[in-house]
Structure 1
Amino acid sequence: MTISVGQAFERILGRDAHLRVVAWDGSAGGPDDGLTIRLHSPRAISYLLTAPGELGAARAYLQGELSIDGMDEGNPIEVLRHLGGDFSAKLPAWRDLREIVGVVRATGISVPELPPEETPSQLRRLTYGLRHGRRRDAAAIHHHYDVGNDFYEYVLGPSMTYTCAVFETPETTLEDAQFAKYDLVARKLGLAPGMRLLDVGCGWGGMVRHAVKHFGVTALGVTLSREQAAWGQEAIRRDGLEGRAEVRHADYRDVTERGFDAISSIGLTEHIGVKNYPDYFRFLREHLRDEGRLLNHCITRPDNQHPGLPTRGFINRYVFPDGELTGSGHIVRVMEDEGFEVKHHENLREHYALTLAGWSANLSKHWDDCVALAGVGRARVWGLYLAGSRVGFEDNGIQLHQVLATRTSESGASGYPLRPQFT
């Protein structure tokens, strides 16, 4: 053996990474003034060799084989900012790889062959069905949203709203910002007493209840999450909104009611698959009356170069199975091709960074409770996911767009005012 464990890990990360590695055997690699990563067993290196990139590093951390000195597990934002683009584990040059594999195997830990790239997708197809088919969509939503309502209450706060808020200032509270988001959506949609609203992908029913209580509409929300629907219906009962508000456990494609005055889609487009956008927006248009409005609110890429590219790595494996993002320009194009007239287009990227900061703070504050409810592995997933997403919004790696459109009639009537009052 010509290298130590610490040196082996250093080579996987890259010699230019500003990181100090301390292994279980006491060996170390990297600068003394770098962020200190600790390897607690040989499996940490095995994880990185069998899943190069962020996924292998995340697996080692989630399994307790890797830790970082001084990291707040509920809100690891400072660690992620310090790492920046440096923490990109990769397969090193072949001559180094042979030595590293030797180091790991000498400890008795096996290093399996890397599977063909297509194998995971084939297995997932056999297990869950076709990507974005109804069965597989339901399984993906269950994986992420049915963690338990108590867990989400700790992370999201009293609003139980799991979408980007709208902040008046950076000091605005998360609850006030979520109220402002729902209010902004309602005003963009032109909601008024007597109207009918459909909210697809409604979550725990926050938009449904806000629209009924503050704008006098009747509202139907649909969600694929059984736990969300149960919580939402109980909140409707508690608020005395029965008969005017409903949160239904259903696929949005099973909604038979039509002629809605307005439709809100807040955080659903990311889940349906870019290739399904035409069918999706056609369905929504068919369920609106003439001059009715649609507000589509979703996470987007900062460009339109790779429409339909699924999310990869840690997010796809542990957080959002089958999630897909594209640029807002692609979304606008499909909406227009399906007969919508786009009236307003807004990027709320910085607001999502602030929203994630609020959720991360909640997770950190209630860390022990969240671990008790969901387990330390799931809690660690959420800590990485929230902080990593925040960095993505701060750095303009991802964005959040609201696109407002109307079902303009054949005569050209859009029902849209000359000077809308919602900004």
Structure 2
Amino acid sequence: MTLTIGELADEIFGSEAPFALAAYDGSRGGNPNADIVLKLKTERGLRYLVTAPGELGLARAYVQGDLDIDGIDQGDPYDLLVRAKDKLAPKIPDPRRLADIVRTLGPRMFVPPELPAQENPPGWRRLAEGARHSKARDAQAIAHHYDVSNRFYELVLGPSMAYTCACYPSQGATLEQAQEFKFDLVCRKLGLRPGMRLLDVGCGWGGMVRHAVKNYGVRALGVTLSGEQAAYGQEWIEREGLGDLAQIRHGDYRDVTESGFEAVSSIGLTEHIGVKNYPAYFGFLAERLVSGGLLLNHCITSPNTAWGQITKGGFINRYVFPDGELAPVGTIIGAMADQGFEMRHAEDLREHYARTCREWARNLSANWEAAVAEAGPGTARIWGLYLSGSSLGFERGEIQLHQVLGQKVGPGGVAPYPLRPSFGS
């Protein structure tokens, strides 16, 4: 006998699943009382699920519009992801039913459909773009994620255009207040004072540069691989009359030839450079600093050494951060120490990033129609999955966010630092 798609879903997920399923053949399955309904609209969607069971198949069907989700805020599948993580336990079908399942699917269902245009091939197939973390391949990876559309980022990030973990000074703080506090915390950790020179690598749209120049009187150079970010940030600087003190440069951090900086901030860049490149990265930044200069490294980290790279073949790697890699904070501290940095302070802000991602996801949902008009429905859906999933990951400690403050030690161990830092909490 053949099964309906709804009966097939019941074989795998059972009637206690955290969702109901409504399929294109008119059948239903899953939990009939669930308030979240997955609507499988096409045969192509089922083929995605069959040929790539798990997150990739679901993502492909959702991104292509073959799978819709009713019962959630548009573009914000956080509630579904929480329930799936807590309550979804796929079953191995009864062997006696395997013949019926295969007969229901038929041979065509095991032929993969075309991949969504937004999906990157696995790393081993991207060799034509250059070796992993070569300048050319890094530029392509950054363009994939950051050159979506400045307007799209405005809709998601809000007025600050800060696309890194905020730091909430209180429970009642807004996202904008938390982003302002984060930049100020970095400035205070670096001990910025008027007349100092700051290098901000991976500067994004220039939020850190602008804050440091306006509030601490430094001269600042920001560098980003994204052409759209650089143009936007430099225009913002000129509009605020900061052009004599600040510059946003489009280029690779490895092409910075200036040195003699008293401070370096690296906020959200280390995830993109590759773990094997940490020694060269921190060595390069040490060369840019004066003796006794400070480096603040702010990046996503993994909870342990077994965690490894950002899921090599999974959703994040294919759709969001091609070639992204994470390491435990201890690996980062060790790499910095090996390049002559003395660690002065480290802290984990993962709860802050969970909240930041939730705020971004809510912004996306609130501006859904405009976001879709700007970037297309597929890209908007990718961002909804990415932000909701990331928030959940930070909440549960599956990923973390560390700020590490290191000081370049001079000859004879000279590294002047206050007896007690003044940046507080």
Q: Same fold by TM-score, threshold 0.5 exceeded?
A: yes
Q: How high is the TM-score relative to the length of structure 2?
A: 0.92
The residue number in structure 1 matching 2:271 is 270
The residue number in structure 1 matching 2:127 is 125
What are the residue-to-residue correspondences of 1:102-181 with 2, within 5 Å?
Answer: 102-105=103-106, 109-112=108-111, 120-126=122-128, 128-181=129-182
Query: 2 CA distance for matches of 1:96 and 1:125?
Result: 43
Shift of 1:269: 0.4
CA offsets per residue over residues 350-407 of structure 1, 9 Å max, x none? 1111111211121111111100000111111111111111111111111100000000
Contact 1:42/1:104 (8 A) holds in 2:
no
Query: Which amino acid in the other structure matches residue 123 of structure 1?
Result: R
Query: Which amino acid in the other structure matches residue 112 of structure 1?
Result: V
Shift of 1:93: 7.8
Tell me the matched-pair count: 416
Change (3 A) 1:56 1:205: same
Change (3 A) 1:19 1:70: closer
The residue number in structure 1 matching 2:389 is 388
Query: 2 CA distance for matches of 1:325 and 1:10?
Result: 37
Query: 1 CA distance for matches of 2:305 and 2:177?
Result: 33
Query: 1 CA distance for matches of 2:419 and 2:98?
Result: 65
Q: Which moved more, 1:80-89 or 1:184-193?
A: 80-89
What are the residue-to-residue correspondences of 1:258-337 with 2, within 5 Å?
Answer: 258-308=259-309, 311-337=312-338
Shift of 1:411: 1.6
Query: 2 CA distance for matches of 1:129 and 1:14?
Result: 46
The answer to whether residue 23 in structure 2 is matched with residue 27 in structure 1 is no
The residue number in structure 2 matching 1:350 is 351
CA offsets per residue over residues 398-421 of structure 1, 9 Å max, x none? 110000000011221212111110
Query: Which amino acid in the other structure matches residue 125 of structure 1?
Result: L
Q: Which moved more, 1:340-349 or 1:407-416?
A: 407-416
Q: Secondary structure at the match of 2:7?
A: helix
Query: 2 CA distance for matches of 1:335 and 1:143?
Result: 29
Identify unmatched segments of 5+ residues in structure 1: none
Shift of 1:50: 1.5
Query: 2 CA distance for matches of 1:124 and 1:90?
Result: 35
CA offsets per residue over residues 316-345 of structure 1, 9 Å max, x none? 111111111111111111111121101100
Shift of 1:22: 1.9
Contact 1:53/1:90 (8 A) holds in 2:
no
Shift of 1:120: 3.4
Query: 2 CA distance for matches of 1:161 and 1:49?
Result: 39
Shift of 1:91: 8.6
Change (3 A) 1:16 1:273: farther
Q: Secondary structure at the match of 1:411?
A: helix
Contact 1:48/1:60 (8 A) holds in 2:
yes
Query: 2 CA distance for matches of 1:410 and 1:94?
Result: 71
The answer to whether residue 2 in structure 2 is matched with residue 2 in structure 1 is yes
Q: Secondary structure at the match of 2:37?
A: strand
Change (3 A) 1:93 1:186: farther
What are the residue-to-residue correspondences of 1:204-215 with 2, within 5 Å?
Answer: 204-215=205-216
Query: 2 CA distance for matches of 1:396 and 1:204?
Result: 28
Shift of 1:257: 0.2
Contact 2:48/2:112 (8 A) holds in 1:
no
Percent identity at matched positions?
56
The answer to whether residue 377 in structure 2 is matched with residue 373 in structure 1 is no
Contact 1:156/1:162 (8 A) holds in 2:
yes
Query: 2 CA distance for matches of 1:262 and 1:90?
Result: 55
Change (3 A) 1:194 1:215: same
Query: 2 CA distance for matches of 1:218 and 1:89?
Result: 56
Identify unmatched segments of 5+ residues in structure 2: 114-120
Q: Secondary structure at the match of 1:57?
A: helix
Q: Secondary structure at the match of 2:126?
A: helix
Query: 1 CA distance for matches of 2:358 and 2:310?
Result: 27
What are the residue-to-residue correspondences of 1:231-242 with 2, within 5 Å?
Answer: 231-242=232-243
Query: 2 CA distance for matches of 1:93 and 1:312?
Result: 29
The residue number in structure 2 matching 1:230 is 231
Change (3 A) 1:309 1:233: closer
Query: Which amino acid in the other structure matches residue 25 of structure 1?
Result: D
Query: 1 CA distance for matches of 2:92 and 2:266?
Result: 41
Q: Secondary structure at the match of 2:122?
A: helix
Shift of 1:306: 4.0
The residue number in structure 2 matching 1:199 is 200
Contact 2:292/2:408 (8 A) holds in 1:
yes
Shift of 1:84: 2.1
Query: Which amino acid in the other structure matches residue 367 of structure 1?
Result: W
Contact 2:198/2:261 (8 A) holds in 1:
yes
The residue number in structure 1 matching 2:245 is 244
Query: 1 CA distance for matches of 2:340 and 2:71?
Result: 53
Query: Which amino acid in the other structure matches residue 303 of structure 2?
Result: P
Query: 1 CA distance for matches of 2:112 and 2:361?
Result: 37
Shift of 1:170: 2.5
Q: Secondary structure at the match of 2:212?
A: helix
Contact 2:163/2:204 (8 A) holds in 1:
yes
Query: 2 CA distance for matches of 1:56 and 1:90?
Result: 17
Query: Which amino acid in the other structure matches residue 111 of structure 1?
Result: F
Q: CA RMSD in A?
A: 2.1
Query: 2 CA distance for matches of 1:311 and 1:350?
Result: 25
Query: 1 CA distance for matches of 2:339 and 2:308?
Result: 17
Query: Which amino acid in the other structure matches residue 255 of structure 1?
Result: V
The residue number in structure 2 matching 1:64 is 65
Change (3 A) 1:376 1:289: same
Contact 1:309/1:326 (8 A) holds in 2:
no
Query: 1 CA distance for matches of 2:14 and 2:226?
Result: 42
Contact 1:54/1:89 (8 A) holds in 2:
no
Change (3 A) 1:62 1:310: closer
Query: 2 CA distance for matches of 1:90 and 1:370?
Result: 37
Shift of 1:3: 2.1
